[in-house]
Amino acid sequence: AVTKVVPGDHVVMSFGSCGRCPSCLDAEPAYCYNADHFGCTRPEGEHYLSADGEPVHGDFFNQSSFATHAIGQERGIVKVRKDAPLELLGPLGCGIQTGAGTVLNVFKMKPGQTLAVFGAGSLGLSAVMAAKLSGASRIIAIDLHPRRLQLATELGATEVIEAGGGPVATRILDLVPHGVNFSFDTSGVASVMNDAIDSLAPHGTFCFATAPLDGSDLVLPLRPLMKNRKIRGQMEGSSNPEVFIPKLVDLFMQGQFPFDRLARFYDFDDIAQAIHDSETGETVKPILRMG
């Protein structure tokens, strides 16, 4: 039986986890041993739905919800305060908590440290806002779309670089000669990841949010890593959503994490336009209104 929420509660759907494995028991549900986030199944390997006797792979990160109703997992449901605008909170369950969590949970940035963010979409801009919260002295945003770079500046980036105008790592080192403390890639492009690594200072850390979709490998020169530069993978910003999502909501309500600046609402019938606007950089985070 479900016990953590009751009818009428306001909730956000986040990623699922089993609650029994070593990661879950250590409050690290993003690294659940049994979750098959990309395989679109429940942690037990089962499917929620079927059509004509065949399983429907419709459970991406246990939070797929392009419908008026969705079947969720209790551990992935997060209760939130009722005075927050509920229709705006859905993106907190995945991309926004991933970007903010990379800065706050993975990097644990301290005042005065420096960050380069590769990609100014919802993940990257969430990282920018979190870095500003952390007191970062330099926040460099890199993207192809001038509109998104302008928004990055408004949200806290101290410098922006429009990709395509020369080697990005060299341009970052022109701004921060010894390199940045942290770099974060949201693109999943191997060549961009190499730029992110090359922009690091000694002792710096590079983190990526997604792997190359074409399955290509990341080729690493080892000599630069000998200066204690580190490469980290992560999922969902290493977040415990039960704790982290309410924290982000509180920060938003206090005016310190204005993720509403990323959002634009579309009727579900306009989903094709929403996708187009996202791909062209016109919109950062499309939110679909159902029905």
Domains of the chain, residue spans: 10-94+242-289, 99-237
The 8 Å CB, 24+ separation contacts for 18-23 are 18/43, 18/44, 18/75, 19/75
Check residue 44 and give its pLDDT: 64
What is the DSSP annotation of 46-68?
A: --S-EETTEE----GGG----SS
Q: Which residues contact 269 (CB under 8 A, 6 or more apart)?
A: none
Query: Which band of pLDDT confidence, cut at 50, 70 and 90, is reported for residue 45?
Result: low
Q: How far apart are CA 234 and CA 242, in angstroms?
A: 18
Q: Return the percentage of the chain with pLDDT > 90, whole number.
A: 76
Q: How far apart are CA 176 and CA 183, in angstroms?
A: 13
Say if pTM beats, i.e. exceeds, 0.95: no
What is the DSSP annotation of 80-108?
A: E-TTS-GGG-GGGGTHHHHHHHIIIIII-
Check residue 167 and give its pLDDT: 92
Angle between helices 190-198 and 168-175 (to 10 degrees): 20
Check residue 155 and give its pLDDT: 99
Q: How far apart are CA 266 and CA 170, in angstroms?
A: 39
233: which strand partners?
A: 208
Please tell me the least confidently modeled range out of 56-60, 136-140, 149-153.
Answer: 56-60
Supply angle C-alpha 160, 165, 167, rounded to 5. 90
pLDDT: is 200 or 35 the higher one?
200
Q: Are the C-beta atoms of residues 84 and 253 closer than 8 Å to each other? A: yes
- Is beta strand 114-118 parallel, antiparallel or unpaired with respect to 263-267? unpaired
Give the CATH class of 10-94+242-289.
alpha beta
Residue 204 pLDDT greater than 70, yes or no: yes
Domain 99-237 has CATH 3.40.50.720: yes
Check residue 42 and give its pLDDT: 66
Backbone phi, then psi, for 192, in 5-degree steps?
-70, -40
Note the helical H segments in the chain: 22-25, 95-101, 122-134, 146-155, 168-175, 190-198, 241-253, 271-280
118: which strand partners?
A: 142, 185
Neighbour tally for 288: CB within 10 Å: 15
Q: Which residues contact 68 (CB under 8 A, 6 or more apart)?
A: 290, 291
Q: How far apart are CA 232 and CA 154, in angstroms?
A: 28
Q: Copy the structure tokens of residue 137.
A: 């002295």
Average pLDDT over all residues of the chain: 92
Q: How far apart are CA 123 and CA 121, in angstroms?
A: 6
Neighbour tally for 165: CB within 10 Å: 8
Check residue 290 and give its pLDDT: 86
